[in-house]
Amino acid sequence: MTDHGLGRIGVWTFAFDGRPASEVREAAAEIEELGYGTLWFGEGFGRDSVSQSWLLLSATRRIQVAAGIANIALRDPISMAAAERAINEAYPGRYVLGLGGHRISDEPIQMDGYAIPSKGRAVASMGAYLDSMDAIPLTSAASPYPPRRALAALGPKMLELAAGRTLGAHPYFVPVEHTARARETMGPDALLAVEQAVVLDADVSRAREVAREHVGFYAAAAPHQIASLRRLGFGEEEITQVSDRMVDAIVAYGDMGAIEKRVRAHVDAGADHVCLQVLTARPDEMPRAEWRELAAL
């Protein structure tokens, strides 16, 4: 296994959305100084993926910045390819473009009451998007480093596409069992950068409730995650009732020992890189104290 330049441990967060740019810059610089290899961020209805990438890269000097993910339903391949080249030229070798948002059916998906246009079937739509990005005759200055892309991949066909067409896969909301399956599917050389949700709280009962809320959200509202849970052997009642077994598989919670054990399990199962998403009872606040503590990993 190799870290593909990302380091073994990274941070994954939605917490920058809604925070002032000055506060985001300060937090990003601290995450870099704490020694994390890569800073991943999600995309919703806060800053778009391109502007967030520029903000984080401009606030840091060495750390890798990775979009986890830029939603292909929200921008044309031309604008995505042009932005990718511009960022990679300005910050050579420090940017990973994670692509996703293919998890949509033939009908628009509702996000906070807003209809995201359909892109069609998952693997076909992502393959076509990559084809379009590669075919665009860009004229802007190019970086000496080739672009680095990864795909949000859960099912075997998307994992195969990730291994064949990009640096590798960035699975989100997955247990260790999925990591082992993904490594077997993609082979030994493709990047496997796994998101792992964690609740750092020695009060196990309180930590599990935070974990349950996180798992319950995706188990109720994310069809692609529900399909993934079914493939992993979780039954319909476990999914609808948010079973303890499912919560324990998806989220690592408790003290540092519990978090370290889960990270090691992912690495032993084939992960090159594990990015930690800290969950707290106050998702509107950046978990800077937890990022500092987890840096010991």
Beta-bridge partners for 149: 97
Note the pLDDT of residue 26.
98
Note the pLDDT of residue 73.
87
Nearest of 191, 159, 231 to residue 38 by alpha carbon: 191
Average model confidence (pLDDT) for the chain? 94
Question: 96 or 112: whose pLDDT is higher?
Answer: 96
What's the rounded mean pLDDT across residues 166-170?
Answer: 98
Confidence grade of residue 2 (pLDDT, cut at 50, 70, 90): confident
DSSP readout, 28-77? HHHHHHTT-SEEEE--SSSS-HHHHHHHHHHH-SS-EEEEEEEETTSS-H
Residue 1 clears pLDDT 90, i.e. is over it: no
Confidence grade of residue 53 (pLDDT, cut at 50, 70, 90): very high
Q: What is the largest CA-CA distance in the chain?
A: 56
CATH topology of domain 9-294: TIM Barrel (3.20.20)
Confidence grade of residue 113 (pLDDT, cut at 50, 70, 90): confident
Give pTM, 2 decimals: 0.95
Confidence grade of residue 294 (pLDDT, cut at 50, 70, 90): very high
Residue 105 clears pLDDT 70, i.e. is over it: no
Residue 104 clears pLDDT 70, i.e. is over it: no
pLDDT, one tens digit per residue, over 179-232 is: 999 999 999 999 999 999 999 999 999 999 999 999 999 999 888 899 999 999
